[in-house]
């Protein structure tokens, strides 16, 4: 007795090919989703590392601030601690300018922090300006500390435990440094982060 092998019909072959193609598409989508998730997690981790490094640098600098005035590019004196909201058109204009210990050769140096709007996709960035000395007539060196920042807010704690939006150590009511600084950064991805730094030796 002769047994004949049953062959696949055309419809069965087409169904099998369709199933294989469907599994391939689902597998590709799964891998693509995993890749995007991995990239997003990596970007988020790098962002928070950059935020930590930038805010740690900011805190270290403001805690070493001293009461030594500086000099602006136009020759006018600059307060030892100068925090302001509205900026002028000067190239060295910044939200916070102060003098700190530990400059070149162990001397003091002039620093400034500012937020600057940038075209997309950067959105905005936190910058650090550094002068060789408080009275240096040379333009400051500029460094980008953090990108992807939509806004920056600074506030200064006075002796009455009130937060002030501006601080000018030339004013009798704001002589010297504030007791603390509050830094708030709005991320381009949404949300705010806040850090507070006590200033040793402040009144």
Maximum Cα–Cα distance across the chain? 116
**Please, are residues 164 and 178 in contact by the beta-carbon 8 Å criterion?**
yes
**Please, are residues 163 and 157 in contact by the beta-carbon 8 Å criterion?**
yes
**Please, are residues 62 and 199 in contact by the beta-carbon 8 Å criterion?**
yes
SS3 149: strand
Q: What is the per-residue pLDDT for 121?
A: 60
Tally of residues, the chain: 203
Residue with tokens 């509050």: 182
| pLDDT value at 125 more than 80 | yes
Q: What is the per-residue pLDDT for 163?
A: 96
Question: pLDDT higher for 2 or 64?
Answer: 64
> Which pTM does this prediction carry?
0.76
| pLDDT value at 108 more than 80 | yes
For the chain, the C-alpha Rg in angstroms (whole number) is 29
Q: What is the per-residue pLDDT for 57?
A: 94
């Amino acid at each position: 007795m002769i047994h004949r092998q049953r062959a696949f019909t055309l419809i069965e072959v087409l169904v099998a090919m369709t199933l294989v193609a469907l599994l391939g598409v689902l597998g590709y989508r799964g891998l693509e989703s995993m890749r995007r998730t991995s990239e997003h997690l990596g970007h988020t981790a790098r962002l928070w590392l950059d935020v930590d490094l930038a805010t740690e640098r900011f805190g270290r600098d403001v805690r070493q601030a001293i009461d030594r005035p500086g000099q602006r590019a136009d020759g006018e004196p600059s307060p030892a601690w100068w925090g302001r909201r509205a900026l002028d058109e000067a190239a060295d204009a910044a939200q916070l300018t102060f003098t700190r210990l530990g400059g070149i050769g162990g001397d003091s140096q002039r620093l400034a922090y500012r937020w600057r709007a940038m075209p997309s996709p950067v959105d905005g960035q936190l910058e650090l300006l550094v002068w060789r000395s408080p009275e240096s007539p040379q333009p400051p060196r500029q460094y980008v500390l953090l990108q992807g920042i939509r806004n920056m807010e600074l506030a200064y704690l006075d002796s009455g435990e009130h937060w002030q939006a501006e601080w000018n150590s030339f004013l009798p009511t704001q002589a010297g440094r504030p007791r603390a600084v509050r830094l708030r950064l709005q991320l381009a991805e949404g949300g705010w982060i806040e850090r507070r730094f006590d200033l040793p030796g402040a009144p």
